[in-house]
Amino acid sequence: MNAVASPLLAVVVGCSAGGLAALQLLLGGLRRPLQVPMVVVCHSGSEDMRLFCELLATRSGLPVREAEERQLPEPGQVYVAPSGYHLLVERDGRFALSVDPRVAFSRPSIDVLFESAAETWRGRLLAVLLTGANSDGARGCQRVRELGGRVVVEDPRTAQVPTMPAAALELAGADHCLPLADIPSLLETLCP
Amino acid sequence: MAAEIGPPANRSGRAEIDDIEVDAFVQAMARRHGYDFSGYAPSSLKRRVLQLVQTLDVAHVGELTARVLRDDAMVPQVIAKLSVPVSEMFRNPAVFRKLRDEVFPVLASYPHINIWQAGCAHGQEVYSLAILLKEAGLYERCQIYATDFSDEALVRAQEGIFPIRDARLYSENYRAAGGRHTLSDYYHARYDFMKLDARLKERVTFANHNLVCDGVFCEAQLILCRNVLIYFSDALQDRVLGLFRDSLGRGGFLCLGNRESIRFAPSARGFVPLDAELRLYRNNAGAAA
C-alpha cells in the first residue's frame, strides 16, 4: 500500500444485472459507514429508484438516498443515481444531472459518473465495478486510473454476471480484483 | 525530433489541456458569435464539446475552436449539437396528467391563455401539450410560444416529424397521461417516420430565445422548462428562474423536470409547490395575502 497516498474523498460504485443483490452484500458487509460519500449507479430498469434506496438502506442499516441535483455529497452517506438521468460530479464536488443521450446504452451511465468523478477527485477517488451484463463502466474505470484514482473490479469468476467486470479488466485493468465478499473489508481498509 | 525530451505527456496532462481548450472554445463562441456558455455547468458542457470534436472529426477542441472562429457557417450545427436535450412525447406522463387535471381547469378561467415552452428542442413536449389542450377544449384560446436558442432545433420542432420507432412509447405515455383518444389520431405514419397533424401547431409560435441573455417577452399563465436548467450553473439557473417569475402572472404555473432542484436559487422563493414531487410550482410572488 502506498503510504504517501492522500486519503480518499469518495467511492463510486457501478453495477447492472444482479446489481441490487450485489449492493446489498457490499453495503451489508460494511461494519460502519465509510468516512467518505459513496455514489452508486445501478441500471435497474426501474422508473423510480426510491424503493431501491429503501431496500438497500433496510438491508445495510446505512443512510441510502437518491442523489439530488446540486447537492454536496456528505461522508457516510450512500447516494444512488435517479432513473433516467446521468449523474455527474461537478468540479466543486456537487452533483449534476443530465438527460444527454444514453452512453453504452445506459442512462444513468456508469462511464459518465466515473469519468466526471475522476476529473474532480483525481487520485483521491476509489471506483468499484460489480456484476453486469454490458460493458458500461469500462471506459470510466480507464479514466479513473488515468487520473490517478484506484479501481476495484469484482472477480468475474464469482460475479453473478461476469460481462461487465470482465470488460473493465480488459480495457482498464484494476488495482484490485477480488470476490464480492472481500470488497467490504478492502473498502474499510482504504477508507480508514 | 524533440518529442522524447522531458517526461511524456501523460493522460492527466491531456485532461488539463482539454479543460483549457474548452475554456478557450467558450470564449471564442461568446466573443466571436455571441453565444455565451460560461454559465453552463462545466462537466456536461465538456462532455458535449468533446462529443462535438468526435462528430465533426476534428483532432481536438483547439482545432474545433480554430474552425468555429473562422467559419460562420458551422455555427448553427455547433449550437444544435451543444443544445439538443433528448425528450419524448408526454415524458413523465404523471406530469401531463397533473397539468390536465389541476392546471388546465385554472387556465380555463382566462379568456386568453399564454403558454411558454422554454427550451423546446425538437418539440415533442409542445405537441404533447397541444394534444391535451385540444382534448380539454382550451386549445383555440391558447397562444403557445415554443422557444429554443438553436435555430436547427426550431426547424425540427416546426416539422413535427419523429422516428416511428418511438410511436409505441409515445402512445403508452399518452394513455398514461390521460389521453382520451389514441395517439395515432394525431399523426400520419409514413415510412420510418410519424408526422404530427399540422393543426396541432396552429396556435404555436416557434421563436429563437436564448435563456442566457434574452428577456421577458410575454405574460404567461404556464411555463414549461423541463430538464434545461440542469445544464446551468447556480447563477444562471437563478437568472432564468427570475425571468420565469417575471414572465408569470401572479398565480401562474411553472413546470420543471422531475429531478430538478431549485433550493439554491434565491429567485425561486416566490414559487410555491403545487406538487413538489412532479416539480410543478405556482408563482406566489407579489400575491395578496
**Is A182 noted as a catalytic residue in this protein?**
no
- Nearest residue, CB atoms, A96 vs list B43, B48, B86: B43
A2 within some domain: no
Q: Could you tell me how many helices (H) and strands (E) chain B has, helices first?
A: 10, 10
Which CATH number fits the domain that encloses residue A93? Answer: 3.40.50.180
CB A135 within 8 A of CB A165: no
* Boundaries of domain holding A74: 10-190
Instruction: Provide the pLDDT for residue B249.
Output: 85
ipTM of the complex: 0.93
Residue type for B263, please?
A: R
What percentage of chain A exceeds 90 in pLDDT?
92
Task: Tell me what pLDDT residue A48 has.
Answer: 86
Residues A101-134: tens digit of each pLDDT: 999 889 999 999 999 999 999 999 999 999 999 9
Average pLDDT, chain A: 94
CB spacing of A100 vs B48 below 8 angstroms? yes
At A5, the pLDDT band (50, 70, 90 cuts) reads low
Give the whole-number percent of chain B exceeding pLDDT 70. Answer: 93
pLDDT at position B16 is 86
Q: What is the mean predicted confidence (pLDDT) over B83-102?
A: 92
Mean pLDDT, to the nearest integer, of B224-235? 97
Give the total number of structural domains in chain A: 1
- Please tell me the predicted confidence (pLDDT) of residue B10: 64
Report the number of secondary-structure helices (H) and strands (E) in chain A. Answer: 6, 9
Query: Does any domain span residue A3?
Result: no
Task: Of B66-75, B84-93, B162-171, B232-241, give the lowest mean pLDDT range.
Answer: B84-93
Mean pLDDT of B66-93: 92
Does the distance separating the beta carbons of A70 and B264 come in below 8 Å? yes
Residues of A near B (Cβ–Cβ under 8 Å) read: 68-71, 82, 84-85, 88-91, 96-101, 112, 116, 119, 122, 146-148
B92 pLDDT higher than 90: yes
pLDDT at B286: 55
CA atoms of A9 and A173, how far apart (whole Å) = 22
Residue A33 maps to a domain: yes
Contact yes or no for A126/A150 (Cβ under 8 A): yes
The pLDDT tens digits of the residues spanning B34-76 come to: 999 999 999 999 999 999 999 999 999 999 999 999 999 999 9
Q: Is residue A124 one of the residues assigned to a domain?
A: yes
**Which regions of chain B carry the CATH code 3.40.50.150?**
93-283
CB–CB of B43 and A88 under 8 A?
yes
| pTM to 2 decimal places | 0.94
Beta bridge partners of B220: B248
The DSSP letter of residue B100 is I
In a domain, A70, yes or no: yes
In this predicted structure, the answer to whether residue A1 has a pLDDT above a threshold of 70 is no
Domain B93-283 has CATH 3.40.50.720: no
Mean of the pLDDT values across residues A73-82? 97
Record the cell numbers describing residue B40, joined without a space.
453552463
A81: closest chain B residue by CA: B259
3-state secondary structure of A102: coil
Catalytic residue status for A136: yes
Mean pLDDT computed over A55-59: 93
